[in-house]
């Protein structure tokens, strides 16, 4: 039996979801069509709504529905601290700990020569500008503790060396190979607390 | 940080997918918005397209884009055999084995008193009518070998007893507690081959 083309197309489309293979995509498609058409409609609408509304914060790059995100727009955040992360998910993970009160900068990725991602593909130019033009006392480099994340951190550190700013990196409380997004809050809080000054 | 409401709505909507909890929903939402907006658009379009086009086959209930599904409309299928399954996914699993050439009837669920699903909520009335009005020699009851599937099979068997039709059930080659949708093809083929006549 050839499945109807609309179902085949749906299965194919659902494979864009991270961690979803053909078998799982079919299960999802059948489930929605059989038992939750309302849920399916909600997903479609929520996707279209998010695609339409979500842009990037003009200053820090994170997801945002206006020009500035809530963090960048807030009067309460400590503007002398800047935390550099790879992705909005990492920013979100740190925010959930609630231990950091400074601002962020989201690189939107990590250096990855194999995938053709160099400094120009990430937000380094703007990061440089932000550090140059603002009174920032400390930049906390909070990239993932993976090979590519460490390379990205090294690059960031080198780039910021000319400036009169303290540069720190997360303590290695985060296990090697781990990704911030999936870390438990206590590990992440400890890593924040124990951030170390870099040897310059 | 409160996430943007469009992202929160998307996370919430994605939880309608089977096996997707809050953590996974966030991962999916971030992945799509950060790295695959085109994929997100494709999912939304495929969902809307499927919701619009996919209806039920007028005869057997399975998913279909016209009045009759390909199987019911086919000249090549053996119309004297009727296989009763719970869901379109089960039908699909049997079709993939390629060992069965008859027609199907999809109940669209299983009897489940706890969830308020009785015979009236499933397709029994129409099944009864089909068996009464067509020259069917054998009805193969292929519900899942779970408690509710077996109850559903027993009910089907009782209901069809007045008719001059051979009633069979899948051999218990399918392990107890197993669901057809996830069975390997050889087990399913064996269960089909060894289907047993019911004691009437
Ligand atoms: Zn911002
Ligand atoms: Zn049909």
Give tens-digit pLDDT for B39-65.
999 999 999 999 999 999 999 999 999
Question: CA B175 → CA A44, B70, B121, B161, B187, distances in Å?
Answer: 37, 30, 27, 26, 9
pTM: 0.76
Structure tokens at A21: 């293979």
Beta bridge partners, B64, equal B55
Instruction: Give me the pLDDT at residue B146, please.
Output: 80
pLDDT at A198: 62
Q: Which residue from A171, A196, A180, A193 is spatially nearest to A96, judged by alpha carbons?
A: A180
User: Which residue in A has a C-alpha nearest to residue B43's C-alpha?
Assistant: A13
A contact test, residue of B19, B40, B46 with most A CBs within 10 A: B46
Looking at chain A, the whole-number percentage of residues with pLDDT higher than 70 is 90
Smallest CA-to-CA distance from B54 within A82, A59, A5, A170 is with A5
Residue B1 has pLDDT above 50, yes or no: no
Whether B183 has a pLDDT exceeding 70, the answer reads: yes
Instruction: Give the helix/strand (H/E) hosting B82.
Output: strand B78-85
Subunit contact A7:B54, Cβ cutoff 8 A: yes
Higher pLDDT, A172 or B87: B87
Specify the pLDDT at position A200.
47
Q: Nearest CA to A119 among A154, A71, A147?
A: A154
3-state DSSP call for residue B55? strand
Which segments of chain A does DSSP mark as H helices, in order?
5-14, 22-35, 37-53, 70-73, 88-97, 124-133, 147-160, 185-193
CATH number of B77-169: 3.40.1360.10
Distance of alpha carbon B24 from alpha carbon A31, whole angstroms = 18
- For the stretch B93-149, pLDDT in tens is 888 888 889 999 999 999 998 889 999 989 999 999 999 999 999 999 988 878 899
Confidence of residue A15 (pLDDT cuts 50, 70, 90): very high
Pairing mode, strands A166-169 and A138-141: parallel
Identify the closest residue of chain A to B54 by CA–CA distance.
A6
Q: Token pair for residue A193?
A: 């607390």
ipTM of this model? 0.75
Provide, rounded to the nearest whole percent, the portion of chain A with pLDDT above 90.
66
Please write the tens of the pLDDT for every residue from B71-101: 999 999 999 999 999 999 889 888 888 888 9
Cα dihedral A25/A31/A32/A34 (nearest 10): 140
**A87 vs B3, B34, B42: nearest CB:** B34
Closest partner residue to A34 among B65, B71, B88, by Cβ?
B88
Q: Please report, to the nearest 10 degrees, the dihedral formed by the alpha carbons of residues B21, B26, B29, B31 taken in order.
A: -110
Apex B66 CA angle, B60 and B68, nearest 5:
30
Residue A97: band (very low, low, confident or very high) from pLDDT cuts 50, 70, 90: confident
- pLDDT score, position A1: 47
The residue to which tokens 């955040």 are assigned: A77
Q: Which one of A16, A36, A63 has the shortest CB-CB distance to B43?
A: A16
- Domain parsing of chain B, residue ranges: 77-169
> Token digits for A55?
């842009």
Q: Is the pLDDT of residue B194 over 60?
A: yes
Q: How many contacts does A have with B, using Cβ atoms within 8 A?
A: 182
Tell me which of A42-46, B125-129, B132-136, B192-196 is least confident: B192-196
């Amino acid at each position: 039996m050839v499945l109807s083309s609309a179902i085949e197309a749906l299965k194919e489309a659902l494979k864009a979801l991270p961690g979803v293979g053909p078998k799982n995509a079919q299960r999802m498609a059948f489930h929605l069509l059989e038992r939750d058409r309302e849920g399916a409609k909600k997903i479609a609408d929520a996707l279209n709504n998010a695609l339409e509304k979500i842009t990037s914060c003009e200053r820090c790059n994170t997801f945002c529905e206006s020009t500035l995100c809530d963090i960048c727009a807030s009067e309460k955040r400590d503007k002398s601290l800047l935390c550099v992360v790879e992705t909005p998910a990492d920013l979100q993970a740190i925010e959930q700990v609630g231990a950091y009160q400074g601002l962020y900068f989201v690189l939107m990725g990590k250096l990855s020569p194999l995938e053709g991602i160099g400094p120009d593909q990430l937000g380094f130019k703007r990061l440089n500008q932000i550090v140059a033009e603002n009174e920032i006392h400390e930049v906390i480099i909070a990239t993932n503790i993976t090979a590519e994340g460490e390379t990205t951190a090294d690059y960031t550190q080198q780039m910021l060396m000319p400036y009169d700013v303290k540069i720190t990196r997360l303590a290695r409380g985060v296990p090697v190979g781990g990704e911030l997004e999936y870390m438990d809050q206590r590990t992440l809080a400890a890593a924040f607390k124990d951030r170390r000054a870099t040897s310059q």
